[in-house]
Amino acid sequence: MPDLFDRLDALAPDRRDAFLALLAERGPEFDVHPASFAQRRMWLLGQLHPESRAYSCPFAFRLTGRLDTRALERALAGLIARHDALRTVFIEVDGEPRQLVLPGVPFALDVARAPEASDPEAWAADRAAREARRPFDLRRGPPIRASALHLGGDRWLLVLVLHHIVADGWSLTILLRELELLYEAELGGRRADLPPLEVRYSDYARWQHERMGGEEREVQLRYWRDLLAEAPRLLELPADRPRRAAPSTGGRQHAFAWPAATSRAVDAFCRSHGVTPFMALLAGWTALLHRYNGSAEVVVGAPFANRARPEVEGVVGLFVNTVAMRTRVPDGATFRDLVARVREATLGAQAHQELPFDLLVDALQPERSLSHNPIYQVIFVVQDDGIRTLRLRGLDARPEPIHAGGSTVDLTLEVLPGPAGLEGTATYDADLFEPRTVERMVGHYLTLVEAALASPDRQVADLPLLAPRERAELAAWSAGPAAAAPARRLDDLFREQARRSPDAIAVEGDALRLTYRELEERAGRLARRLARLGVGRERLAGVLVERSPELVVGLLGVLEAGGAYVPLDPSYPAERLRSMLEDSGAAVLVTQSHLRDRVGGYAGEVVCLDDARPDDPAPLAPPPDGVDDLAYVIYTSGSTGRPKGVMVTHRQLGAYCHALRDVLAPSGSLAGWRFGLVSTPATDLGNTAIFPALAFGGCLRVLSAEAAMDGDAFASAVADAPLDVLKTTPTQLRALLQTAAPGQVVPRRWLIAGGESLSWDLVDQLTGRGGGRVLCHYGPTETTVGCSTHEAAARGARAATVPIGRPLAGMALHVLDRRGEPVPAGVPGELYVGGPQVARGYLGRPAATAERFVPDPLGGAPGGRLYRTGDLARRLGDGTVEFLGRIDHQVKVRGFRVEPAEVESVLERHPDVGAAVVRAWSGAGGEARLAAYVLPRPGRAPAAPELRRHVAAALPDHMVPAAFVTLDRLPLLANGKVDRARLPEPDRERPELRQEYVAPGTPLEERVAGVWSAVLGVDRVGVHDGFFELGGSSVLLVRARARLRQALGRDVPMVALFQHPTVRALAAHLAGGDEPRAPGGDGADRRARARLERSRRGAALRSDREGGR
């Protein structure tokens, strides 16, 4: 037959196709038959991924005794002659596979002996592995091969490899039993007494096509459609690496064995509950998967023999059908309840096991992906011991582990009886999982099953997963290094540093530079003035100052007076500023004369830093050593629609400064280091620069709002005096790198990224430019700036983003489940933070404080508390923590923490809006943006530009949605809550404009519109469209500027982009002429110019983290 295939290969493609079509047409005459549905699927997968070894099925037995290799070869040849499937090859006709059963195939047992100078065991293992991995040619066959590897003396390793397309687990049992009989007969020189086969596999394939072409197909489909309606499409497991877009390139196996006592307990449980071991063990596996991903429904693939007809019981072939077992695990369900549910699901699946998987997929039309299997991604199998047993006369045969190196799904767990109890293997996608992770999973399964069998009425949520050793390991990982520094007030630390280095530069801006002595004198004068106005311990003073050295004077002045400051951003809307001052109860406001009108109507005392009044020479008595006094109150977005003030004391701020110093400079000295401040004072992101610099002898470089938003301006500002440390968000950093001198943006010692996830791609950009090291820094405002760090020294293989790392000195990071129990490594849970940096709580919000700041039950300091971050995280296999996102709907936009409910509250105050929902969506370039979904009041039709102006008047720029979508009704869940998953994606074609589209009319307008379209991800951009009204942000405007520079070959000032916000206006400006006036243009210009006035004062690129990552 090889000659036939050689001749076919020599034919022209059209003649070869015609010949094969003729064979198929006269199928029975030439033994050509339809492929079964399972064969067709496997063949198609082989065409897609010819290099895959997922469907090679190797088996190995270690033989001891006298082996007659010729008798074994004849016995194997007898099996091939007896079973058509082992002589089947596959031809392609019109894109479909056909079985071609050959009358005979040459077969030879590969007998090899270990070379004399080799290690026989190593040689045999390598030879067997290569044999298992060698691909099959299904077009030429045969689909079976065998090797007998002689290790010396009476020791052999027998390796059998079949392609799954011709055999299943049941088939292997048939082959092993018949091989025993045939070998026995060959040794005795007689024919084996084997019963004749009534049917062939090709008969089954034809019968299956007929049966699935009629009424039975609809009966089966109806059951599976109902069962799998709205089932979860993807079962997320605690993988070590993100799922690849391409198929898996390899798989591995982990073998395990359970104690005999556990195996006996399984048998006893099954007898007493009237269930099979498959049902009981699948219930345990389902419980574990539920605990891993928190889903109330779990879908697992389970192979069924699919041999209901007695005449096929002795036929070798691919009969097995893997069906989807969907099990619901409701809250409060006990293990006994779950077993009953699995039993019901199993019986239903057994009664409807005939429907081929491909037909089910075609009917359900799940989302297809090369990265994972449709419908189920995990398979659970309970085998009998037939596939592990071989009895050849004169030989002791024991199964030997062997694996082809492939995996058909993410994870397959196979359990079967062993000599001392239950044994099994976990076959897993090596692109997703590390060996240690799968080993842990198997350990969790054993721990859970043992506890469930002992207490079946225990709730599934309460069943333990962690063995004592793993629990101790998690506890060790959770704690940071011991904190050695004593608690100190920040103003004390600053004054001591001023005495040590009075003439060193403490702070500098574009127009002002102050030494430590000068800064202390100015802060002291302000402190005396504030003290006369009543600022003191636990008294709050607002600080509304531009980014400049005067800002630092204001902050230190409040602290030296013994009070606590409330930082305010001058670019915030007046309503927001008044709200913060009113909520805080600040009786004094420190500001500058030109900003005084920003808080019109404020009833407290106002102190202007540029108001030259004579100083009171009377020395100010230093505040008592109140390390537990308030240092500041910073406002973060609140879920009730009202921002929350986070109270941070000197003890907490001092602990942070000392812990960060230990990370940045283990030697303890930051003297002379230059720290860059590019953040709004209204968040605590900049505190990474301000207080460690001033407490330990550094120089704080305060950059202007323009330099903080423009890479060229930033590079120019630091060109003569490069920074040593820069703290920024990844979003802001990407904008700053859009400069002709990106190397000047990267500091000499440390680039600290916080506020949002840090990607490895950005790390690669930074490390490729030289400069210092990159530090990922995590921490909500409620844990005082930051509580963990991770140096991103090299690209990691385990996470999509840089881990947030390990806790700072004295701190603790715990990943807990809903019951407050530690979750295993790799499993998502809520991140809790403990230690001396945990803030006091929320100002005037005792209920919110009690909800988020909870007692520490995990062995912290007496009276210690944990802060519930609301962040989803997991611990990696090396103990570091990976941030996964928010548990609630809170999102991060340009590094700011945004509570959608706060934006919703403002939207719902508009007279035309009945209800509003706000969520994050991925805009152009993948950055997070806000989308608002509005349900109008009856008879009203609010326009998107009007809604944008309404929100912008009350909230900062980063909280203004980029897109507005009007809905007739909001999609709801069964419990009446909004089903956010069913909210439509905003239209990428002009997502929020109601005005008529006018196409660009000149080449320059086309270039500008093209740049905006690419940056904003909007398909059509008209000449009268405003950049911001299309969903643009200041960050995106920086990107647009860089694209325009490339497209036009000239620089475009940022201010020009703000002043000329429409395509036509900007094109006219660039062309050197006046913009032709057109309907709709003026409004966009006015709105953008109003935005400019705010943005130029610092709002334009506030990529700061308003609290947590």
CA angle 898, 899, 905 (to 5 degrees): 120
Q: Are 995 and 946 in contact (CB under 8 A)?
A: no
Residues 6 or more apart in contact with residue 931 via CB below 8 angstroms: 918, 919, 920, 921, 961, 962, 963, 964, 965, 983, 986
| Pair of tokens at residue 278 | 């498959």
Q: Are 471 and 875 in contact (CB under 8 A)?
A: no
pLDDT at res. 1085: 45
Higher pLDDT pick, 1026 / 450 = 450
DSSP state of 809: T
Cα 1009 to Cα 939: distance, rounded to the nearest angstrom: 35
Cα 816 to Cα 824: distance, rounded to the nearest angstrom: 9
Sign (positive/negative) of CA torsion 900, 906, 907, 909? positive
Higher pLDDT pick, 408 / 691 = 691
Q: Torsion angle of alpha carbons 356, 359, 364, 365, nearest 10°?
A: 130
Cα 691 to Cα 493: distance, rounded to the nearest angstrom: 9
CB-neighbour burial class of residue 502 (10 A; exposed 0-12, middle 13-18, buried 19+): middle
DSSP state of 1098: I
CA angle 188, 385, 280 (to 5 degrees): 165
- pLDDT tens per residue, range 610-660: 987 766 666 676 667 789 999 999 998 766 667 899 999 999 999 999 999
For 515-518, the CB contacts below 8 A with 24+ separation are none
Q: Are 393 and 179 in contact (CB under 8 A)?
A: no
pLDDT at res. 53: 82
Q: How many helices (H) and strands (E) does the chain have?
A: 33, 40
Could you list the beta-strand ranges (E) of 817-927. 829-834, 841-842, 853-855, 865-875, 881-886, 891-893, 896-898, 913-922
Question: How distant is the alpha carbon of residue 915 from its chain centre?
Answer: 31
CA distance readout (Å), 360 to 223, 341, 355: 10, 22, 7
CA distance readout (Å), 381 to 164, 281, 426, 836: 16, 9, 10, 50
CB-neighbour burial class of residue 984 (10 A; exposed 0-12, middle 13-18, buried 19+): exposed
Mean pLDDT of all residues belonging to the chain: 87
963 forms bridges with which residues in the sheet? 931
Cα 672 to Cα 721: distance, rounded to the nearest angstrom: 12
Helix, strand, or coil (residue 755): coil
- pLDDT tens per residue, range 1067-1106: 988 887 544 333 333 444 444 444 433 333 333 222 233 3
Higher pLDDT pick, 519 / 1065 = 519
Phi, psi (degrees; rounded to nearest 5) at 178: -75, -30
Cα 542 to Cα 210: distance, rounded to the nearest angstrom: 81
In the chain, what are the domains? Answer: 2-195 (3.30.559.10), 212-228+252-307+319-390+405-465 (3.30.559.30), 490-800 (3.40.50.12780), 891-982 (3.30.300.30), 1003-1099 (1.10.1200.10)
pLDDT-based confidence at residue 364 (cuts at 50, 70, 90): confident
CB-neighbour burial class of residue 99 (10 A; exposed 0-12, middle 13-18, buried 19+): buried
92 forms bridges with which residues in the sheet? 97
Could you list the beta-strand ranges (E) of 198-312. 251-257, 297-304
Stretch among 268-282, 855-869, 913-927 having the lowest mean pLDDT:
913-927
Cα 284 to Cα 281: distance, rounded to the nearest angstrom: 5
pLDDT-based confidence at residue 728 (cuts at 50, 70, 90): very high
pLDDT at res. 799: 63
Question: How distant is the alpha carbon of residue 520 from its chain centre?
Answer: 47
- pLDDT tens per residue, range 919-955: 888 765 566 789 999 989 888 888 888 898 888 888 8
Could you list the beta-strand ranges (E) of 513-596. 513-515, 540-544, 564-568, 588-591
Helix (H) or strand (E) holding 632: strand 630-636
pLDDT at res. 1074: 45
pLDDT at 702 over 70: yes
Stretch among 600-614, 633-647, 963-977 having the lowest mean pLDDT:
963-977
pLDDT-based confidence at residue 769 (cuts at 50, 70, 90): confident
DSSP state of 571: T
Report how far apart the first and last C-alpha atoms of the chain are (Å, whole number).
66
| Pair of tokens at residue 817 | 């489940």
pLDDT at 994 over 70: no
Closest CA to 99 of 19, 50, 165: 165
| Pair of tokens at residue 867 | 């802060």
Rg (CA), the chain: 36
pLDDT-based confidence at residue 181 (cuts at 50, 70, 90): very high
- pLDDT tens per residue, range 222-255: 999 999 988 888 888 998 887 776 667 689 999 9
CB-neighbour burial class of residue 471 (10 A; exposed 0-12, middle 13-18, buried 19+): middle
pLDDT at 1109 over 70: no
Higher pLDDT pick, 25 / 933 = 933
- pLDDT tens per residue, range 1019-1062: 888 888 878 777 776 557 767 877 887 788 777 876 677 667 78
Within 585-649, residue ranges assigned H as helices are: none
- pLDDT tens per residue, range 496-505: 999 999 999 9
pLDDT at res. 923: 62
Residues 6 or more apart in contact with residue 645 via CB below 8 angstroms: 566, 580, 583, 584, 633, 634, 635, 842, 843, 844, 845
CA distance readout (Å), 1101 to 232, 755, 956: 39, 14, 11
Stretch among 25-34, 592-601, 1025-1034 having the lowest mean pLDDT:
1025-1034
pLDDT-based confidence at residue 975 (cuts at 50, 70, 90): very low
